[in-house]
Amino acid sequence: MVSFEELLKRNEKYAGGEGCFDLKEVKAAREETVKGQHPEVCIIACSDSRVAPETLLLAKPGEIFTIRTAGNVVDGEETLATIEYAVEHLKVKELVVMGHMSCGAVTATVEGGNEEGHLKYLMEKIKPAVDEARNALEREGKELNKENILERAIRINVMNVINEIQTRIPKVKELADKGELKLIPAYYNLETGKVIILE
């Protein structure tokens, strides 16, 4: 089992372009986990092709239970059920929601385009974070340009998703309150390759 803290140390290697695992280690991990998985960490991340948690955190088979949706939003029964499975059956100890720099889903919401079909729905989910970002920047007397709004909205969206998970899945809140499940907001910087924990 590997903790998120340990994974962040591996991310330092990834960001620095240092070596990955020997494929023999990956093979060993695969063989060890044939009969079952016992991941300690569940990560909810964006589907963006540049932000695969297993790659950024140099995770081997069996180490991370991953859920990915555009904009790392959580709403549908499938996503909620998948989180419940991780928490109640796999008994993960850490639940990480990871947003990322230049997120396309959040960008589309900031730009407020007229998306059709299901995308429209996704943008409605992210919109509260964009509104809150504008308000926060205004309060702080910061410039309301697209870049500032976007970067702030990405972070607020992560916090909103963490809140939503606790509201929609009472068991998550219960375990978090008891200190048995850590809820971790995180952010991935495409430029530096680093994953950080948000304050």
Q: How far is the CB of 103 from Zn ion (least distance, A)?
A: 3
Binding-site size for Zn ion (CB under 5 A) equals: 3
Report the C-alpha gap between 109 and 126 in whole angstroms: 7
How far are the Cα atoms of 19, 33, 106, 111, 129 from residue 73, in angstroms, in the given order? 32, 29, 10, 18, 11
- Name the residue nearer to Zn ion (CB basis): 48 or 94: 48
Q: What secondary structure does DSSP assign to 12-54, as a single string?
A: HHHHTT-----HHHHHHHHHHTTT----SEEEEE---TT--HH
Q: How far is the CB of 20 from Zn ion (least distance, A)?
A: 23
- Name the residue nearer to Zn ion (CB basis): 32 or 132: 132
- Name the residue nearer to Zn ion (CB basis): 60 or 109: 109
- Name the residue nearer to Zn ion (CB basis): 2 or 52: 52
The DSSP 8-state label assigned to residue 86 in this structure reads I
Q: How far is the CB of 46 from Zn ion (least distance, A)?
A: 3
The answer to whether the beta carbons of residues 166 and 172 sit under 8 Å apart is yes
Report strand pairing: 195-197 vs 182-188.
antiparallel
- Name the residue nearer to Zn ion (CB basis): 97 or 181: 97
Where in 29-88 is the site for Zn ion (CB under 5 A)?
46, 48
Q: How far is the CB of 160 from Zn ion (least distance, A)?
A: 15
Q: How far is the CB of 32 from Zn ion (least distance, A)?
A: 32
- Name the residue nearer to Zn ion (CB basis): 14 or 188: 188
User: For the window 91-110, what string marks contact with Zn ion as x by the rule CB under 5 A?
Assistant: ------------x-------
Report the C-alpha gap between 164 and 113 in whole angstroms: 25
Q: How many CB atoms are located within 10 Å of the residue 107 CB? A: 18
Q: How far is the CB of 109 from Zn ion (least distance, A)?
A: 11
For residue 38 the two structure tokens come to: 């016992």
Binding site for Zn ion (CB under 5 A): 46, 48, 103
